[in-house]
Amino acid sequence: DGYFEQVVRQCRFSSKDLQGIEFIDSYVFNKAEYVRFNSTVGKYVGYTEHGVKNAEAWNKGPELAQELGELERVCKGNAAIDYSA
């Protein structure tokens, strides 16, 4: 009864030197991921018809520049805090 929408943001890293750190921003509707930004890929990728349309628009707009900065803003600072704890 209703709809479910979710955004999942992840920072993936496996070493203290933060080499290979990756930021992933996934958009999910009714438990199906429809578009994803991956910092390693450097752009949005759509997985459904709706997701492909969103990815095309977001890759041309200010959304892409915002996502490209999240690796530095969100992941690297928080990873250092995680390793210090």
Number of other CB atoms surrounding residue 7 within 10 Å: 8
Residues 6 or more apart whose CB falls under 8 angstroms from that of 29 comprise 3, 4, 5, 6, 50
**How many alpha carbons lie under 13 Å from residue 14 in its C-beta half-sphere?**
1
Residue 1, pLDDT score: 73
Q: Are 48 and 40 in contact, with CB atoms under 8 Å apart? A: no
Residue 74, pLDDT score: 85
What is the tally of structural domains in the chain?
1
Whichever domain contains 27, its CATH number is: 3.10.320.10
28-83 per-position pLDDT tens digit: 999 999 999 999 999 999 999 999 999 999 999 999 999 998 988 888 877 767 66
Residue 29, pLDDT score: 95
Tokens 């290979």 -> residue: 20
Domain that holds residue 23: 5-84
